Amino acid sequence: MLRPEQDDHAEEAGLQELIEQFEAFLEKKEYSFFDDDALERLYEYYENRLDEGHMEAVADLAIAQNPYSGDFLVRKAELLFNRKDYQASLELLDKAVVFDATNLDIYLLRSEIMVESNRIEEALELLQDALRLADRDEKDVILTEISDVFEIQEDFHAAFDCLRDAIKHNPSNEAALMKIAHLAEMTDRFDDSLDIHLAITEEHPYNWMAWYNAGRAYAGLGLYEKALDAFEFTMAIQDDFDLVYRDVADIYFRLEDLDKAISTFETAQEKSGGFEDYSFRIGMCYERKNDLKKARFHYRKSTRQDPYLDEAFFRIAETYRQEDRFEPALVNYKKALRIDETNELYMTCIIAVYRMLGREEEVLQYLQRLTQARPDILNYWLDLLIFRWEHEQFEAGLENVQEATERCGHFVEFDYLRSLLLWYAGQQQESLRVLAQALDTDKARHTILLETDPSFLLKEAVMRVMNAQ
């Protein structure tokens, strides 16, 4: 009688012989017969190695030997789907369903093709058909798929409900458990999430994902101490799950226990095995502690891990600005802006620093850039127009009024500032006409003139127009 290790060795030797036989068949194109079990073993071998070329060769041979093999028709269809050859994939699935109408993989793959083809309602219908065919122990998988489709449709409450039902069928479905916590945050259904996961922990006290989701629900409700307790259970059961350490550290950060937050983020980094970098969050802790040098060190560390992390460059700039070190602040604000070219916050910070440095040409450059990035924001145009007036750029300001009206809309504030610019451009009569029109539209908004140039309202001709309204 073979011992287990001898049995495994014999099985491995048999598989190797089978592989050599199959690859010789492919090379020489000589007839060779492989039974269904051999083809299954070959396909799984190549699938484990992500060798799609040989997977397809096995599937083709299986279909040639047995044209009624629904399983291999589905496998070939999946390979075609991966190559985005949706029509050919669907044709094979049409054949497969004739031979095995209860094969759930047919419905799942067809629904994926419908999603990729933006035929969402058809995808849902197929998944509902699959749900009716599925055995009780398969329903959770189908419900999780249906949830994904609802999420694509941005029907997040329906997606949440599907995952809740999936978890009722199988409380150990990790995919459903991981997704439902995210949807609870998107829909603010923390109470529902808490009920679901506490019920699971009562029946399955070692379900670490349920404890983790309960902790996230408590955190969403602002019950931080209870969240920490739930996360403690998670760590006790699954101590290598790095995300729970991240969430614990986030709570310590919110509670201003910054030293604990830093040490827990460091633990999360160790547990992640290099797959996650928590340097940015550690930097935020040091910035909150007002240790700006250490904060910068960790922010820079995070940019080495991710050179496109614009928020890290922004935080570096903010630490320099807190120290009144404006030139290095500008360098890092601009690095952040190069990554996210339309970020309004980055541009407004650059404008503020240039104003403090008295570098008006650069202020104008970024004011213009801001209006181009977000032409729909009224205040950005007002800042540009007021800058033009302050620097006696009246003609350019009038051109900007025209552009602002075309791109942002007809706001009465534009008319008041146009009146001001016209006056100082030497077009007093037109200025008074525009002013009268603005006052007739919305007199209360004339306060923008009071804020910009109170002396304008004291001019005799202007006062006559004001009093006439």
CA 116 remoteness from chain centre: 19
DSSP for 306-335 reads -TT-HHHHHHHHHHHHHTT-HHHHHHHHHH
Find the helix or strand (DSSP H, E) in which 266 lies.
helix 258-271
392: in domain: no
186: in domain: no
Nearest CA-CA partner of 218 in 177, 253, 240, 185: 185
Question: Domain total for the chain?
Answer: 2
Q: Looking at 331, 355, 374, which one is the last position of a domain?
A: 374
The pLDDT value recorded for residue 186 is: 94
Q: Tens digits of per-residue pLDDT, 310-348?
A: 999 999 999 999 999 999 999 999 999 999 999 999 999
The residue written with tokens 């500032």 in the block is 417
DSSP for 212-233 reads HHHHHHHHHTT-HHHHHHHHHH
Q: Looking at 87, 117, 133, which one is the last position of a domain?
A: 133
Give dist(CA 174, CA 176) in Å, integer: 5
Cα four-point dihedral sign 228, 233, 238, 239 = positive
Give dist(CA 345, CA 293) in Å, integer: 23
331: in domain: yes
The pLDDT value recorded for residue 106 is: 87
Q: Looking at 100, 133, 166, which one is the last position of a domain?
A: 133
Contact between 73 and 53 (Cβ < 8 Å): no
Residue range of the domain that includes 337: 277-374
The pLDDT value recorded for residue 181 is: 95
The pLDDT value recorded for residue 5 is: 46
Contact between 342 and 314 (Cβ < 8 Å): no
Contact between 434 and 412 (Cβ < 8 Å): no
Contact between 221 and 251 (Cβ < 8 Å): no
CATH number at residue 61: 1.25.40.10
CA atoms within 13 A on the CB side of 93: 25
DSSP conformational letter for 445: G
Q: Which residues contact 195 (CB under 8 A, 6 or more apart)?
A: none
The pLDDT value recorded for residue 332 is: 98
Contact between 299 and 316 (Cβ < 8 Å): yes
Q: Which residues contact 302 (CB under 8 A, 6 or more apart)?
A: 277, 279, 280, 283, 309, 312
Task: Enter the pTM of the model.
Answer: 0.77
290: in domain: yes
Contact between 265 and 249 (Cβ < 8 Å): yes
The pLDDT value recorded for residue 54 is: 84
Return per-residue pLDDT of the chain as tens, 469 residues.
Answer: 334 443 444 456 567 878 877 877 877 766 667 787 888 888 888 888 888 888 888 888 888 888 887 888 888 888 888 888 889 888 888 888 888 888 888 888 888 888 888 899 989 988 988 998 888 888 999 999 999 999 999 999 999 999 999 999 999 999 999 999 999 999 999 999 999 999 999 999 999 999 999 999 999 999 999 999 999 999 999 999 999 999 999 999 999 999 999 999 999 999 988 788 999 999 999 999 999 999 999 999 999 999 999 999 999 999 999 999 999 999 999 999 999 999 999 999 999 999 999 999 999 999 999 999 999 999 999 999 999 999 999 999 999 999 999 999 999 999 999 999 999 999 999 999 999 999 999 999 999 999 999 999 999 999 999 988 7
The residue written with tokens 């991966």 in the block is 82
Give dist(CA 439, CA 256) in Å, integer: 51
Q: Give 311-318's long-range contacts (Cβ < 8 A, gap of 24+).
A: 311/280, 311/336, 312/280, 312/283, 313/339, 314/345, 314/346, 314/349, 315/280, 315/283, 315/284, 315/287, 317/349, 318/287, 318/349
Give dist(CA 126, CA 148) in Å, integer: 14
Distance between start and end Cα atoms, the chain: 109
- Residue 272 dihedral angles phi and psi, to the nearest 5°: -75, -15
DSSP conformational letter for 138: G
338: in domain: yes
258: in domain: no
The pLDDT value recorded for residue 83 is: 86
238: in domain: no
The pLDDT value recorded for residue 274 is: 74
401: in domain: no
Contact between 170 and 193 (Cβ < 8 Å): no
Give dist(CA 100, CA 105) in Å, integer: 10
Judged by phi (left if over 0) then psi (alpha if -120 to 50, else beta), residue 347 lies in alpha
